[in-house]
Structure 1
Amino acid sequence: MGWTRKILRVDLSKGTCTSEPLNMEWAQQYLGQRGLATKYFVEEVDPKVDPLSPANKMIMATGPLTGTPASTGGRYSVITKGALTGAIACSNSGGYFGAELKFAGWDMVIFEGKSPKPVYLSIEDDKVELRDAAHLWGKTVWQTEEIIKKSHQDPQIRVSSIGRSGENGVLYACIVNDLHRAAGRSGVGTVMGSKNLKAVAVRGTKGAGAIKNPKAFMQAAATAKKVLADNAVTGQGLPTYGTQVLMNVINEMGALPTRNHRDVQFEDARKISAEAMHEKRPTDGKPHLVTNAACFGCTIACGRISKIDETHFSVVNKPQYWGASGGLEYEAAWALGAANGVGDLEALQYANLICNEDGFDPITFGATVAAAMELYDLGILTKEQIGLDAPFGSAQALVALAEMLVKGEGFGKDLALGSARLCAKYGKPELSMGVKKQEFPAYDSRGIQGMGLAYATSNRGACHLRGYTVASEVLGIPVKTDPLVTEGKADLVKAFQDATSVFDSAGVCVFTTFAWTLADLQPQLDAACEGEWTMEKLALLGERVWNMERMFNNAAGFTAKDDDLPPRLKTEPAKTGPAKGLVNGIDKMRPEYYKARGWSAEGVPSKETLARLGL
């Protein structure tokens, strides 16, 4: 079947938990996870709702391949209206939590209302209850997971929780599972905190549900795993170096945003790269990287487990950070590093640990620090206002600001707003580098033109995981396109966005798309799920999900004006590298994209498009 056919509805206001059957008609149209949960969300929630009001809902959803032997089938997503953006939010996470939720017999959990006091949800197969979380409130993600495992006397229980940042209303708080995997962007953890929901603890013993054709499925899954193993990126690059393999590559391309996008190349990129993580430190003769790690069912294993230098200023007298823990991914290393001009690998690792431990998005945090450092550089923010000197390149400032945010003290309250609100507060809104109030990830769109269009049109605000044209423009996957031109990028971005919608809805990791196309996913879905799952049906599904999200945002008040980039990327040419002299051509690409989508010049899906997609 692919589905357990059951959803759990939790009314936090009333304290009730009820089971209901999955809408199988919708499952045939929207598949699962991102697509299906978004369908439930848009049907039940007013697009104009305040993200932090009890009327906003939050859904944790698995896909039909979650918990199956399909490679990377450990994903789950959190769908809500984002606290940071006010747009549709869908944050995807790996680890083991998603598979466990499926094993407990649930396709998704819908949270509504707000609990009068802190609670956590305990799920043991069909036994579901809301429990008091007074003793967990104020605790970090790491402490919460440990306490829940001890109190349930079950080390195998899987926990997804918020840290103090989610409780305190940091607008980009995450939901963290398995200690260092996160539904990371758009402030989904902030929404969870606003509901007084501290954690979800799951133990499942039922298995992933029946598969339509087990023999055909195992064959399709095995074939697809071989494709991953034989691919240079998924079989070699990511297992060896993780996503950090990109640091030097993107820097050489002149597309590594540096010092709040003032520059496109970072002189210290090598010091914070994957290669540097492998090298032995002069202080203790040990490498930063301990090992790689995999999420449930993953044959790629791109995760990093690292150990910080115990003599580094950030952790002296802090033995709790001396053990091995979740290591730097490319986006976090960029946001905490190059974005701020900081080339101290240990400082980045420490700041990243703080993000994991307390549950806030390192991309938005790092980019907000970058904006603050530019405001400091311009003399708009002073040492007195911040509480310390914060020039670009200061590892000390980065570390102190991370600690300040966690405590919610002083300037930490300003950092909690994200860069859009921070820059607006100090009269320089143009210095926030993002779209729809969500900060850019680690690619400068003057050097990779297609990413500018992908950022501008992303339904969740600036994001690399909604249409990763870097695959084509940089790595030549599935075909090589020129990163410095705008021609053809509208169709490229649309194709990537639609395909990604399908992978996100299936319950597998988007990293498989370095090697897989829909043709590799289709046989697995067709063998697992009841009904016919053809290539045509999947292509239509991807487009349907994208347009559904777009319609929600339009109804929430977003217009074509929001599909734009900050002035810097349109008026300040890249100073160095292959993109020297270039700005991003978003104004040329956007009308071409709307046309390719079948939308009006104002970015509204036409009646014909909606009819074709069954919306």
Structure 2
Amino acid sequence: MGWTGKILRVDLTAGTCKSEPLNMQWAREYIGQRGLATKYFVSEVDPKVEPLSPENKIIWATGPLTGTMASTGGRYSVITKGALTGAIACSNSGGYFGAELKFAGWDMIIFEGKAAKPVYLYIEDERAELLDASWLWGKSVWETEPAIKTHHQDPMIRVSTIGRAGESGVLYAAVVNDLHRAAGRSGVGTVMGSKNLKAIAVRGTRGVGNIRDPRAFMQATVAAKKVLADNAVTGQGLPKFGTQVLMNVINEMGASPTRNHRDVQFEGAKDISGEKMHEPRPTDGKANLVTNQACFGCTIACGRISKIDETHYTVQNRPQYWGASGGLEYEAAWALGNANGVNDLEALTYANFLCNEDGMDPISFGATVGAVMELYEMGVLTKEQIGIEAPFGSAKALTYLTEITARGEGFGKEIGLGSKRLCAKYGHPELSMSVKGQEFPAYDSRGIQGMGLTYATSNRGACHLRSYTVASEVLGIPVKTDPLVTDGKPELVKAFQDATAVFDSAGVCVFTTFAWTMADLQPQLQAACDESFTMEQLGLIGERIWNLERDFNNRAGFTSKDDTLPKRLLTEPAKTGPAKGMVNGLDKMLPEYYRIRGWTEDGQLTPATRERLSL
């Protein structure tokens, strides 16, 4: 049936680990992972809870396709109330940890309370115990994972952990597994650290043996893998260039936010692109990119493994950074690069290594540095305050600020607050390029109109992974729409939001949606889990999940006033590119979006919508 039927409840205050049966009615209504864990979370947690208080809970969840032979079936999510946003947070990660948790026999782990001292959870199949982590506290991700494997004398253990950023209270700290795969956004790692929970170590030997109809499932997964292999994006572009295939594409269409969104095109984009990562360096004749890498069960393999030029200033006489590790993906390259006007590929790779090493979201970090650089150029912040000259374009400022933020030192503590709090503190709240406190990813909504509505209405703050209208507006998937018009975008955004909720809840990667539609996912879910997962039913489930998250945020105090964009995007026209002279037309799209969602004019669920979705 896809699910293991068991969840692990860990009371950190009492130090207990207890098994309980999965609520199968909820599983059929919310599938798994994002949807099902959110249902558990909102049923158990007061929406007004302080994110960093012991009363907040944090959940690790797999989907019913996690650990199976479904392509990309290695995903897991971390669900909590976000430290950065105060909104519902669900951060998704790949790698191998999610499958290992499933192999140990667990659909989900719910953590509640706070440990009196640092602990880590050790799981070996059905056995689970909390162990002392005092000896791990203060260690980076890169130190913690091998230390746990050595301690338990098992190299096959999979580890999900925080680094120093999660311990020191950086508000966008990530949870990292397999050294460089991350549940990256909204501060889920900060919540983990606030509970004195350092890591989860899992060894599972059971496999996933409970598929409802194995023959039909095998046929469905084989057919779906062929769709991925035959698609230009998932079969060619992503394997070769990773998500970095987008750097030059988005820049050329005038939708690459540059220097804290002052500009929409970056003159240095080609120097930090996916193509550049393949080119031999003049210094050593080697390319930045070593190879691509796949997560568990993935047939796309978009991950990047990179090696920094050993003569580069960041790593001279620092052999700990000479090995190959997780390389730049598009969002990180943009946030560390374009957002700050920095075009030094090796410096960006180094900053990205540090984000992985200490568990820090590179999007929120890089975008916050962009705000700092703008404040510095305005004279609001000085060299004495920051610790270094910090104009746009300074690679040395970027790498220095990454180091001190990861360690929680000096001005790094300010950057660790995120751009919303930092900009407000220094008197310029309008310079935070964020929604609900979460910084924008790599698409300017003046050049891609649908992304403006996507950002404004995202339940976890500004996010591209909740409704990737770029697929339609730029890549023509599943149909081509004009990126410069607002007409039809409310329907497009809603369709993407609902569909993505289903993919996230199933346990597969959202990148499959470049090739798959719901018609490719549905036979896999139905064969693995339950005959009732029809196309119509899945459409309803996606909508139910979205509205459940929205309702939690409304009860937490978010209103329609939070469904907005920074003034810059609504009033300052794009200076160059196809969108020259344009702002984002959110005011035209939002009322229509509320209407088709079945919400009131101020963005609340109507009784009819609640009844239709069984909420």
- The TM-score, its normalising length taken from structure 2, stands at 1.00
8 Å CA contact retained: 2:73, 2:507:
yes
Q: After superposition, what is the alpha-carbon deviation per residue over 1:395-447, rounded to whole angstroms, capped at 9, x for unaligned?
A: 00000000111221211110010000000000000000010000000000000
Question: Which blocks of at least 5 consecutive residues in structure 1 are unaligned?
Answer: none
Cα distance in 2, alignment partners of residues 359 and 329 from structure 1:
16
1:197 aligned residue: 197
List aligned pairs for 1:188-587, cutoff 5 A: 188-587=188-587
* C-alpha displacement of 1:10: 0.1
Cα distance in 1, alignment partners of residues 588 and 95 from structure 2:
40
Q: Secondary structure at the match of 2:91?
A: strand
Cα distance in 1, alignment partners of residues 406 and 463 from structure 2:
24
Cα distance in 2, alignment partners of residues 310 and 427 from structure 1:
41
Q: After superposition, what is the alpha-carbon deviation per residue over 1:33-87, rounded to whole angstroms, capped at 9, x for unaligned?
A: 0000000000000000000000000000000000000000000000000000000
Q: After superposition, what is the alpha-carbon deviation per residue over 1:365-406, rounded to whole angstroms, capped at 9, x for unaligned?
A: 000000000000100001111111000000000000001112
8 Å CA contact retained: 1:368, 1:419:
yes
AA paired with 2:113?
G
Q: Secondary structure at the match of 1:78?
A: strand
8 Å CA contact retained: 1:365, 1:415:
yes
- 1:40 is aligned to 2:40: yes
Q: After superposition, what is the alpha-carbon deviation per residue over 1:451-496, rounded to whole angstroms, capped at 9, x for unaligned?
A: 0000000000000000000000000000000000000000000000
AA paired with 1:270?
K
8 Å CA contact retained: 1:32, 1:505:
yes
Cα distance in 2, alignment partners of residues 32 and 184 from structure 1:
20
Cα distance in 1, alignment partners of residues 288 and 28 from structure 2:
46
Q: Which runs of 4+ in 1 moved over 6 A?
A: none
8 Å CA contact retained: 2:360, 2:406:
no
AA paired with 1:252?
E
Q: After superposition, what is the alpha-carbon deviation per residue over 1:222-263, rounded to whole angstroms, capped at 9, x for unaligned?
A: 000000000000000000000000000000000000000000
* C-alpha displacement of 1:571: 0.4
1:62 aligned residue: 62
* C-alpha displacement of 1:209: 3.5
AA paired with 2:246?
L
Q: Secondary structure at the match of 1:55?
A: coil
Cα distance in 1, alignment partners of residues 40 and 468 from structure 2:
26
8 Å CA contact retained: 1:52, 1:83:
yes
* C-alpha displacement of 1:182: 0.2
List aligned pairs for 1:86-125, cutoff 5 A: 86-125=86-125
AA paired with 1:6?
K
Cα distance in 2, alignment partners of residues 103 and 388 from structure 1:
49
Cα distance in 2, alignment partners of residues 508 and 418 from structure 1:
30
8 Å CA contact retained: 2:168, 2:407:
no
8 Å CA contact retained: 1:28, 1:531:
no
* C-alpha displacement of 1:520: 0.2
Cα distance in 2, alignment partners of residues 553 and 152 from structure 1:
41
AA paired with 2:171?
L
AA paired with 2:67?
G
Q: Secondary structure at the match of 2:316?
A: coil
Cα distance in 1, alignment partners of residues 382 and 291 from structure 2:
42
AA paired with 2:469?
T
* C-alpha displacement of 1:317: 1.3
Cα distance in 1, alignment partners of residues 210 and 25 from structure 2:
18
Q: After superposition, what is the alpha-carbon deviation per residue over 1:348-380, rounded to whole angstroms, capped at 9, x for unaligned?
A: 000000000000000000000000000001000
8 Å CA contact retained: 1:554, 1:604:
yes
Identity of aligned residues (%): 79
Q: Secondary structure at the match of 2:423?
A: helix
Cα distance in 1, alignment partners of residues 235 and 221 from structure 2:
16
Q: Secondary structure at the match of 1:25?
A: helix
Q: Secondary structure at the match of 1:109?
A: strand
AA paired with 1:571?
T
Question: Which blocks of at least 5 consecutive residues in structure 2 are unaligned?
Answer: none
Q: CA RMSD in A?
A: 0.4
2:73 aligned residue: 73
